[in-house]
Amino acid sequence: MKLLPRLSFGVGDRFAHEAEAQLAAFERLAAAGVVVAPVWNKSNREHSFIGSEPASVRAAAAAAVATRKWPHPWFIDADHIRLETVDRFLESSDFFTIDVADSIGKQAPDADVKAFVSGHAELGKPIALPGITKVFRLSEDAVARIARKYMLACREAGAIWRHIRKGRGDDVVVEVSMDETDEPQTPPELLVILALLAEERIPLQTIAPKFTGRFNKGVDYVGDLAQFEQEFSDDVAVCAFAARNYGLPESLKLSVHSGSDKFSLYPVIRRTLARTGAGVHLKTAGTTWLEEVIGLAEAGGDGLALAQEIYAYALDHVDELCAPYATVIDIDRAKLPTAAEVYGWSGSRFAAAIRHVPTNPAFNPHVRQLLHVAFKVAAKHGSRYTDLLAANREIVARQVTENIFERHLAPLFLSR
């Protein structure tokens, strides 16, 4: 098993141009005394939208690590893979996020559920979790109901893990994700899920449940902060309990997906980590692509012109672009400016509309979310887009580094 450090942070780099600028943010954090492992994540869906290959993610990250002489661990995450999509990631990834959300709710056979329940008498007893005052009390029926709902998903995770081990060996990090589903998982459900995953002998180091509240792409958390804090804290305790009692790796920790731009959650997460000593993995992706657009807009000239064109096209194709992300965006179309209006914007006006500074009156979360899901429009422009990134490297890199450091890493990991 390859050990994932206590603190890790996932960055997406859709066009494989920003690895150095992203790494610079981790360097600034390390200089401030906190080493966090960068994990470059890209899903099969993102590769297929852009037409890229998994090897390009490792190549870009490795080049950045070599150029900047990053001396700490780093990883390449095959994000949201399934049995039918994992193969092309085997060679270049050392972190695998096994997505079994689609199998949640498939009914497990009664006999298997019964065997699980009788083999886990401890789950039917009051469980006092370290670090939290309340006691879980799950009836046998409740354990059976949860096991019935999640057993087949956990078995599928086991099958995908064995496939990875056969093709790649076991010197990898394994995460299981259940976030892309409708219902959040409660802490007691997480406990049963971890017991089920342990039965599959998965060397699980991170688990991504679906948390309560909305995790929309590229904008802040929408939900009850006190409830999230309670749930996150209970989930941390559940992970610690499961690692100790079910033989899962000691490094087991929570993974927060769609974690970019969740500014109101970062103080909550930071407090919980400080209080419990737990670790966390937090994934971001499209936030970096938006910084590329902001940098091109700020650069003016051809850069601004392309940013405006991308917006105009996205506005024309809003249904098509939003469809795959319907559950993770909330766009009020009445608040999207017309293409004509945006063509009249200066570079700094355009940048201010999408840069995630909610206190700026020019900030428009609807424009930001639409552009967040519009990266395949930039991909369509091919080298016109990537040549402009190269020509404006400095100004783009500055946006990328500042966004990751100032708005993400520092509030999450530095108390200041």
Positions touching Zn ion (CB under 5 A) are: 179, 257
What's the min distance (Å) between Cβ of 81 and Zn ion? 11
Kindly tell me which of 94 and 179 has the beta carbon lying closer to Zn ion. Answer: 179
What's the min distance (Å) between Cβ of 373 and Zn ion? 15
Q: What is the CA radius of gyration of the chain?
A: 22
The one-letter amino acid code at 295 reads: G
Kindly tell me which of 283 and 355 has the beta carbon lying closer to Zn ion. Answer: 283
Residue 325 CA to residue 45 CA, distance in Å, equals 11
What's the min distance (Å) between Cβ of 132 and Zn ion? 26
What's the min distance (Å) between Cβ of 267 and Zn ion? 22
Residue 94 CA to residue 91 CA, distance in Å, equals 8
The encoded tokens of residue 274 equal 């400080």
What's the min distance (Å) between Cβ of 357 and Zn ion? 25
Kindly tell me which of 78 and 352 has the beta carbon lying closer to Zn ion. Answer: 78
DSSP for 353-415, please give it.
Answer: HHSS-TTSTT--HHHHHHHHTTHHHHHHTTHHHHHHHHHTHHHHHHHHHHIIIIIIIHHHH--
The kind and range of the H/E element at 227 are helix 225-246
Residue 294 CA to residue 367 CA, distance in Å, equals 12
Burial-class residue 415 by CB neighbours within 10 Å (0-12, 13-18, 19+): exposed
| Dihedral sign computed on CA atoms, order 119, 132, 174, 78 | positive
Kindly tell me which of 41 and 233 has the beta carbon lying closer to Zn ion. Answer: 41
What's the min distance (Å) between Cβ of 411 and Zn ion? 21
Angle between helices 286-299 and 383-391 (to 10 degrees): 70
User: What are all long-range contacts of 299-302, with beta carbons under 8 Å and residues at least 24 apart?
Assistant: 299/347, 299/388, 299/392, 299/395, 299/396, 300/346, 300/347, 302/388, 302/391
Kindly tell me which of 328 and 388 has the beta carbon lying closer to Zn ion. Answer: 328
What's the min distance (Å) between Cβ of 75 and Zn ion? 16
What's the min distance (Å) between Cβ of 104 and Zn ion? 14
Kindly tell me which of 149 and 210 has the beta carbon lying closer to Zn ion. Answer: 210
Kindly tell me which of 42 and 355 has the beta carbon lying closer to Zn ion. Answer: 42
Phi, psi of 77 (to 5 degrees): -100, 120
Kindly tell me which of 257 and 281 has the beta carbon lying closer to Zn ion. Answer: 257
Neighbours of 330 (CB within 10 A): 14
Kindly tell me which of 13 and 20 has the beta carbon lying closer to Zn ion. Answer: 13
Q: Which residue is nearest to Zn ion (CB)?
A: 257
Phi-psi label, residue 287: left if phi above 0, alpha if psi -120 to 50, beta otherwise: alpha
What's the min distance (Å) between Cβ of 257 and Zn ion? 3
